[in-house]
A and B are shown apart, each in its own frame.
Chain A
Amino acid sequence: MKKLLTLFMRDRFVSYSLKCIKVMKITVLLSILGVCQAFATSTYSQTTRLTIDVQNTKLKDVLTKIEDESEFYFLYSSKLVDTEKEISVKADNLKIDEILTSAFQGLDIEYAIVDRQIILSPKAMMKDYIETVAQQQKKVSGKITDSSGATLPGVSVIVKGTTSGVITDSNGSYSLSNVNENATLQVSFVGMKSQEVVVANKTVINVVLEEETIGIGEVVAIGYGTQSKRDVTSAIITIAPKEFNKGIVTGVNSLLAGKVAGLFISQPGSDPTKGATVQLRGSSTLAGGSQPLYVIDGFPGADISSVAVEDIKSITVAKDASSTAIYGTRGANGVIFITTKRGETGKTTLEYHTYYGVETISRRNQVATGDQVRAQLKLVNLPLAVTDNDGANTDWQKVISRAGLTKNNNIELGGGTEDTHYFASVTFNDRSGVVLKSHSNRFTGRFNLDQELFDKRLKLSVNVANNVINNSSVDDGVFYYALRFLPTSNVYNPDGSYKESPGRQIYYNPLGQINNADLVDKYNNMTANAMAVLKIIDGLNFTGTYGIQNSDHLSSQYRTNDNPIYAPVGGYAQRTAFKNGTSVYELYSDYSKTFGKHALKLLVGYSDEKDYFNDGVGAQSVGFLVNSSGYYGLLNGNIPVGFNPLGRFLGSMVSPSNPAYQDARLISLYSRFNYNYGDKYILQGVVRRDGSSKFGANNKWAIFPAVSAAWVISQESFLKGYSKLDNLKLRASYGVSGNQGIAPYASLPRFGPSSNYYNNGTFNQGFYYKQNPNSDLKWEKTTSTDIGLDFGLWGNRLSGSVDYYYKLTTDLLNYYQVPVPPYAVNTILANGGSLYNKGIEIELSGVPITTGNFSWKTNFNFAANKNRITSLSNGVYSQSTVYTGEVGGQGLSAVTSQIQKVGQAIGTWYLPEYAGKDNSGASLFYKADGSIVKGNLITSSDNKILGSALPKFTYGWTNSLNYKNLGFSFTIRGVYGSKILNAVAVNLNRLNSLQSYNVSVAAIREGNPDNPIYSSHDLENGSFLRLDNATISYKLPIQSRLIRSASIYTAGQNLFTITKFTGVDPEIDLNSQAPGINGLGSYLGTPATYFRTRTITIGLNIGF
């Protein structure tokens, strides 16, 4: 190799004409050579010693001899340097410069040593070079540390404007040779703010890197590639792991709570088996899906549960249409790009992360104690049934709860050579919830491999992740049982069985319901994708990807024959197993070219995605003699003759989900161009054409265009003088994206099994239309306009952005009611109507204090959104009002609480208005005509519009303070202006039924004689401010060859919440079409909120 390189280099050099051998050329050459040299640990010429003894030998032979015996090689033009001359050299273990000085004595030859290369030229010519370049080259070394003083390995130190550079070693040290005095060193590291240092006359340059949020030079993920943050023309936010929420975090979404303006993450309650939901920039759909599209390592539509939190390198949230239109018909709810960690060159890292967390209930409903119930009944002179009164003061909420414990362990290994990079990680997470039996156990394994081939012309990447989840859950009805069961009762009967109170409905021993039901869900999610990038010529790449995702879900239930609900049928077992899967292949080609100040990028691509859902079977059985076989013992049941395993059994108690196979396909063609003029004017255009099988025959295909532009004002010459202004960028974007979040076959006339009919003594399967066809069914279209300003001041000590957006969703996917006849079925899924979301988002980040030992960084975000329905018709179908939000509750059946109406927001409350109490204490309400009446005279016609469940604005504020090795950070987040219907409070306000059911403390205090009516009285202010997270961390001052870094931390979550809301948790899921109901339980129609917890976590991170 050495020889080959020598020859190659020599010929190239020789071929240059004399005129060409200009200093500049040499400089360039040196720079190129510098790359090879950059990785040397010490300067070869300084350490190598040679022994040579030649007499009267031709100079060229001497040079060859030196080349043979060492790694040096010479570069010269034989036209300029006379190598035919004979010389004599005698050297015994001398350095090369000593040998050459003596060898060239008396000759018109000057030399310059650049590590292993030695350049020869006539003295006169070298003089120029030496004067201008060589004398200024010198060696620079130093150490890179972070603000706490810990050394940072793997930091790249590059000579600005060149490709020459090194990476710091395990001690954070670097050394660079032949650095020009005028040069500037660029020091950069992931998650740290890059720094530039002018070399000048320094030989030791130590740099302290500061952690940063989003660097202007940082690369952000966009669809089908990455982009420098500077080139971004749309509303995109990237979040680095440093900013992730710490503590018990089981899903990707929870990492982002409070971190991104306009991204509303909510997790009502702390159920370990449930993740948080996401909504971006308001509700923009009625019947389509509202979850954003997740793209993991280039795999669109990936399942986020397949990623362990520790595996994430960065998360990018694309908010406006110009950044999401590249995903066409799936982009309307935003796109969240997740980039997982990958190995780095020359650095093998082994990391171990662990934490233990303890959860306790942070807030619960205040219901009467046994003594309070007895006292109240005595007061009104009503007896308490002997069977209900054990003299007990049972705290049923306590009976069903416990301290939650979470254990999390993660090991990751990464590394690589110049051509090969690998990363592997395993994560074990085990979380026991605060409610007995609620438990989640997750294992995630991930492997990423990148391989460069054929002189880096081909890059192959493989990502494989597998995720195994075992969940055990409880029916959410137990929360309501725990509130209503009389506290005067014992938990157990004397014989040890669960004490029940027969004769009252929706009223079971909550502990019995938990322990007499096994509800287990097992998931196995596998994601694998491979990518090949072929560099055809410089700037032109061709990429092919193929990925699959398979998710198995096995759902099992066993309700014992002791369970009072299922005892009459002798217990109930159900198992349902089904698979969902996706396969995607994509081919795309990108081209980039720079002409002077013009930089152009083009992308064209094609993708083909196939999905299938619910490929599986289900089975049920009843009649179990013993419970010990649980759901495994399906065949142990005694199924009565005529039991229909697929039918409803015992009314509403069980309605098994029978997987119905579905499949869908999405074919797309997309293109994007970027144009950048002098980093000043940036223009981007995107066009995607999507064909989705889900839509009607007339509308399978759709085109989604977007344009955006940015003006980097700070690059303008008239602002160049303002050194305090680092960045000022004005962005504007406009584009269209779609939503196809509906089930397949929605446009087809479906004709399927209907009611059974009777004929001549037997019942047979009938068939009828199940769905009205709609061959015009199409995507829901969101047209989004975004204007934003990014800025950075005082060395980016203060930076941020402000965005205004207007999102108009038209052709809303909605289930319209249609008259029967003529239609066969009374609803049709159709496009019609429109709504908009508009709002302002502000992101600010600042570094108010940074001294040698102490730094304080703060990030603040704010988002205000206004949602309005502007139409609910399309000419054919129309609905001026739709009543939604059926709440449920005893005696409150068929009562709706919300209205969808033109001019109002989604989640608009529509209830009677409370008018205080009369002298007897009875509640009064306003009739539609303004008169004031008692509750029994109120009907739905008297309902009024009473504001919306949606918050007016949301905010998040994160601070991190560092002093030497000690760090402290906290996140406060909250919402303002939401209204929550506290259905739980209403249903616990039944003082009249205290003989049967427990009531709230408030009910006894108020002494309310009425029957419950949902009204404005029960709409509570849902605003809250929560200290979501506080973390204290300490970097252990361990520096050894074995341990690279170690830190410990303790984190508290949900430390306090300031709210006027009286329920368990003011955090509501906005994705529901009727958001904001603090519900009683799924069995009554609205899900109940699991207890909200307070969490204390301790964790340890070690890097080897």
Chain B
Amino acid sequence: MKHNYKRILFLVLLITAITTGCKDALIEYDRVNFNSSNFPTTLNKATYYSIAFVSIATMRDFGGWNSFFDLIETCTDELLIPTRGGDWGDGGMWYNLHMHIWTADLPTLSNGWNWGFGGIGKCNNILKTLNDAPDFDGKVALIAEVRAMRALYYYYMMDAFGNVPIYLKTDLSDGLPATSPRADVFKFIESELLAIQPELPAKVDASTYGLPTLGFDQALLAKLYLNAQVYTGTARWADCITQCNALANSGKYGFSEVISSFSPRIPTPLAAKTLNKFMSIFAPDNGPQIKESIFAMANDGQKGSGCIFTQPYMPKVGDKSFLELPYGGWSGGCALPSFFAKFNDPNDLRNSMWLNGPLYAPDGVTVVKNFDGSPYVIIPELKFGVANPSVPYDVGGTADGQRQGVRCMKYYPDGFHDKQDNDVQIFRYADIILMRGEALARQGNDPKLALPDVNAVRVKRNAAPFTNLTWDDLLDERGREFAYEGWRRNDLIRFGQWGNPWGLKVNKEAFRTIFPIPTNQLQLNTNLKQNPGY
């Protein structure tokens, strides 16, 4: 028997030998993506750009569905998403945002937070990669650009959530970040923007279009200083004026005189009416030729796009009967009649942003029919409580319900992609002018001090210049100029009108000027503190 045991022992030894020899066999190698084992350690300059500029690409998700844009816009008076026959009920989130009764569980809050801090996290990681990289031509500017983007994401987060964590690391060596007071976040953003000013590209041309430049830095600083009183309790009007003047006097920017040559699939009469000098700033073919653009998020319907600023609002009409778009509208958001009423100068070019009145077929003459056979005529009125008294926010899924509320067509659809081609304007010259005007007025505590700047904009928009100016006029002018560009909430708060009633909204709780930290973030990071009131 003995030799049999030897055989068994031999087998066991053999098996052990095979196993030990196989340990390296379990090392994984992902052939599709890169990782430490197959990503080159020394990269060429282009590769560093391809990593660094991902920090900008995140801006595209600013305006997707149920995004940060929806969070900061649907709670204002310029955009609300009424329910239409149950459609857009979406668990009450749009109603909650409109009514200012949101809680920290609102999905949109979480999406907004994830977008902004996702961008910040990306910047941190990219900066680590760049800092670790050997020197190459342009490295300093590249780092500055990523820091500028990070400052922008921090600005949006600070503006929306107030007290947020400042965390610049890519590991847990200092534990999870704790909440910083809003004033500290303000200070951090300011110091970053000042520090990188000399390193950012100052040139403004096609080569710097869509990138964070010196102008971007100054515009963001201006925005920061304009709202300094809201953020920190201390006004910084002079600093705001300084930054605005630096931009305005640089000669690199100005009002856009371009008229878009974009034409496909737009009924000619409508196009002529629509694509004026103002609307061309936002047209699908906008780009470096738009002199107003200080910072625009470059989009391409095929190669990179995330924003949907038109489709959610467009009426639901047959696929080929309206604008010949390959996609239908979602018949979602519209403006409150009170906001639309601010567009009261018939010659104002900015009136073209609204889809109002009859919808025309591509021939520009035939009026499209609603699904009950009636002519599809959009009316600004929102008949709350008429279609369904038990659900007043529901204007009805009927043909009449579908046509209520004027729709924003500022980012005119390109007729081919539901993901828009239009570059999204983040900072533009007109904003600098109106910010300067406002800062001057506030500094002198007299709204009329803004008159020259306000009229400069009005003239360019073919609106009659004001002779007198109140604070409300100033706010309304900003409303007309920047509708659906993501600034209305910021402006309403700064003008102290956040507690005003509009639509069905009556809530004026003061703490609602900042959003709550999303519940799931509080769970993930117990060092975060919920904002007061929530």
| Nearest B residue (CB) for A591 | B8
Q: A757-B56, A891-B86 are in contact. Are A821 and B298 (CB under 8 A)?
A: no
Decide: B91 and A1010 in contact? CB cutoff 8 A. Answer: no
| Nearest A residue (CB) for B394 | A1011
| Chain A residues positioned under 8 Å from B36 (CB to CB) | 748-749
Decide: A995 and B26 in contact? CB cutoff 8 A. Answer: no
Among B4, B58, B91, B317, the residue within 8 A (CB) of A892 is B91
| Chain A residues positioned under 8 Å from B57 (CB to CB) | 754-757, 766
| Chain B residues positioned under 8 Å from A749 (CB to CB) | 35-36
A415 to B391, CA, bound (A): 75
A890 to B418, CA, bound (A): 19
| Nearest B residue (CB) for A990 | B86
A568 to B320, CA, bound (A): 9
| Chain B residues positioned under 8 Å from A591 (CB to CB) | 8
A660 to B54, CA, bound (A): 22
Decide: B372 and A767 in contact? CB cutoff 8 A. Answer: no
Question: Which chain A residues (578-637) contact chain B, with CB distance < 8 Å?
Answer: 587, 589, 591, 604-606, 608
With a 10 A CB-CB cut-off, give which of A660, A758, A881, A892 has the most chain B CB atoms: A758
- Contact string against A for B residues 1-35, beta-carbon threshold 8 Å, 1 for contact and 0 otherwise: 00010011001100110110011011110111111
Q: A608-B22, A1011-B83 are in contact. Are A822 and B390 (CB under 8 A)?
A: no
- Contact string against A for B residues 297-315, beta-carbon threshold 8 Å, 1 for contact and 0 otherwise: 0101011101000000000
What is the predominant secondary structure among interface residues of chain B facing chain A? loop
Q: A384-B372, A385-B371, A642-B302 are in contact. Are A1011 and B418 (CB under 8 A)?
A: no
Q: How far is the CB of B370 from chain A (nearest CB, A)?
A: 8
Q: How far is the CB of B295 from chain A (nearest CB, A)?
A: 12
A1072 beta carbon closer than 8 Å to chain B: no
Which one of A30-38, A104-112, A935-943 is at the B interface? A935-943
Which one of A92-100, A422-430, A500-508, A856-864 is at the B interface? A500-508
- Contact string against A for B residues 172-187, beta-carbon threshold 8 Å, 1 for contact and 0 otherwise: 1000110000000000
Q: A661-B31, A669-B19, A752-B34 are in contact. Are A817 and B520 (CB under 8 A)?
A: yes
Decide: A892 and B90 in contact? CB cutoff 8 A. Answer: yes
Size of the chain B interface, CB-CB below 8 angstroms? 116
Q: How far is the CB of B136 from chain A (nearest CB, A)?
A: 16
B53 beta carbon closer than 8 Å to chain A: yes
A650 to B300, CA, bound (A): 13
A564 to B319, CA, bound (A): 8
Decide: A383 and B50 in contact? CB cutoff 8 A. Answer: no
| Chain B residues positioned under 8 Å from A542 (CB to CB) | 11
Among A502, A669, A691, A940, the residue within 8 A (CB) of B23 is A691
Q: A750-B33, A751-B33, A995-B372 are in contact. Are A892 and B89 (CB under 8 A)?
A: yes
Decide: A700 and B26 in contact? CB cutoff 8 A. Answer: yes
A483 to B40, CA, bound (A): 55
B284 beta carbon closer than 8 Å to chain A: no
Q: A651-B327, A760-B207, A821-B170 are in contact. Are A993 and B372 (CB under 8 A)?
A: no
Among B23, B26, B84, B328, the residue within 8 A (CB) of A503 is B328
- Contact string against B for A residues 915-948, beta-carbon threshold 8 Å, 1 for contact and 0 otherwise: 0001011100000000000111111110000000
Question: Which chain B residues (101-158) contact chain A, with CB distance < 8 Å?
Answer: 103, 105-107, 114, 117-118, 120-122, 124-126
- Contact string against A for B residues 83-96, beta-carbon threshold 8 Å, 1 for contact and 0 otherwise: 11111111111011
Question: Which chain A residues (738-789) contact chain B, with CB distance < 8 Å?
Answer: 744-745, 747-761, 763-771
Q: How far is the CB of A353 from chain B (nearest CB, A)?
A: 43
A838 beta carbon closer than 8 Å to chain B: no
B229 beta carbon closer than 8 Å to chain A: no
Decide: B371 and A388 in contact? CB cutoff 8 A. Answer: yes
A819 to B518, CA, bound (A): 12
Q: A382-B398, A817-B520, A819-B525 are in contact. Are A891 and B88 (CB under 8 A)?
A: yes
B354 beta carbon closer than 8 Å to chain A: no
A812 beta carbon closer than 8 Å to chain B: no
Among A643, A651, A891, the residue within 8 A (CB) of B419 is A651
A764 to B103, CA, bound (A): 40
| Chain B residues positioned under 8 Å from A750 (CB to CB) | 30, 33-35
| Chain A residues positioned under 8 Å from B321 (CB to CB) | 502-503
| Chain B residues positioned under 8 Å from A643 (CB to CB) | 302
| Chain B residues positioned under 8 Å from A764 (CB to CB) | 49-50, 53
Decide: A651 and B23 in contact? CB cutoff 8 A. Answer: no
Decide: A822 and B169 in contact? CB cutoff 8 A. Answer: yes
Decide: A821 and B167 in contact? CB cutoff 8 A. Answer: yes
Decide: A501 and B371 in contact? CB cutoff 8 A. Answer: yes
Decide: A691 and B397 in contact? CB cutoff 8 A. Answer: no
Among B33, B168, B397, the residue within 8 A (CB) of A752 is B33
| Chain B residues positioned under 8 Å from A1012 (CB to CB) | 86, 89
A567 beta carbon closer than 8 Å to chain B: yes
Decide: A770 and B33 in contact? CB cutoff 8 A. Answer: yes
Among A692, A693, A995, the residue within 8 A (CB) of B371 is A995
A818 beta carbon closer than 8 Å to chain B: yes
Decide: A934 and B88 in contact? CB cutoff 8 A. Answer: no
A920 to B391, CA, bound (A): 12
Q: How far is the CB of A1014 from chain B (nearest CB, A)?
A: 8
| Chain A residues positioned under 8 Å from B15 (CB to CB) | 587, 604-606, 669
Among B56, B120, B172, B320, the residue within 8 A (CB) of A820 is B120
Q: How far is the CB of A792 from chain B (nearest CB, A)?
A: 37
With a 10 A CB-CB cut-off, give which of B170, B320, B372, B418 has the most chain A CB atoms: B372
Decide: B54 and A822 in contact? CB cutoff 8 A. Answer: no
Q: A667-B25, A752-B32, A757-B304 are in contact. Are A822 and B396 (CB under 8 A)?
A: no
| Chain A residues positioned under 8 Å from B207 (CB to CB) | 760
| Chain B residues positioned under 8 Å from A384 (CB to CB) | 372
Q: How far is the CB of B529 from chain A (nearest CB, A)?
A: 14
Question: Which chain A residues (659-707) contact chain B, with CB distance < 8 Å?
Answer: 660-662, 664-665, 667, 669, 689, 691-694, 697, 700
A4 beta carbon closer than 8 Å to chain B: no
Decide: A1011 and B391 in contact? CB cutoff 8 A. Answer: yes
B339 beta carbon closer than 8 Å to chain A: no
| Chain A residues positioned under 8 Å from B357 (CB to CB) | none
Decide: B50 and A568 in contact? CB cutoff 8 A. Answer: no
B392 beta carbon closer than 8 Å to chain A: yes
| Chain B residues positioned under 8 Å from A769 (CB to CB) | 125
| Nearest B residue (CB) for A652 | B418
| Chain A residues positioned under 8 Å from B530 (CB to CB) | none
Decide: A503 and B371 in contact? CB cutoff 8 A. Answer: yes
Q: A822-B167, A1011-B83 are in contact. Are A647 and B302 (CB under 8 A)?
A: yes
Decide: B18 and A502 in contact? CB cutoff 8 A. Answer: no
B510 beta carbon closer than 8 Å to chain A: no
A823 to B125, CA, bound (A): 9
A893 beta carbon closer than 8 Å to chain B: yes
Decide: A748 and B373 in contact? CB cutoff 8 A. Answer: no
Q: A383-B372, A819-B521, A939-B91 are in contact. Are A824 and B125 (CB under 8 A)?
A: yes
- Contact string against A for B residues 274-303, beta-carbon threshold 8 Å, 1 for contact and 0 otherwise: 000000000000001000000000101011
| Nearest A residue (CB) for B389 | A920
| Chain A residues positioned under 8 Å from B35 (CB to CB) | 745, 748-751
Among B47, B60, B90, B371, the residue within 8 A (CB) of A755 is B60
Q: List 22 A-B contacts (CB under 8 A).
A: A383-B373, A589-B8, A664-B28, A669-B16, A750-B30, A751-B39, A757-B53, A758-B209, A759-B53, A768-B122, A768-B126, A770-B33, A821-B121, A826-B118, A878-B523, A879-B524, A895-B90, A934-B391, A935-B391, A936-B391, A939-B105, A992-B86
Question: A-B pairs with the 4 shortest C-beta distances?
Answer: A502-B318, A568-B326, A752-B33, A1011-B86
A interface residues, Cβ below 8 angstroms from B = 382-388, 501-505, 536-537, 540, 542, 564, 567-569, 587, 589, 591, 604-606, 608, 640, 642-644, 647-648, 650-651, 660-662, 664-665, 667, 669, 689, 691-694, 697, 700, 744-745, 747-761, 763-771, 817-826, 878-881, 890-895, 918, 920-922, 934-941, 990, 992-993, 995-996, 1009-1013
Other A-B pairs beyond A756-B57, A879-B520, A1011-B394, 9, CB < 8 Å: A387-B371, A651-B418, A759-B49, A768-B54, A878-B523, A936-B391, A1009-B391, A1011-B83, A1012-B89
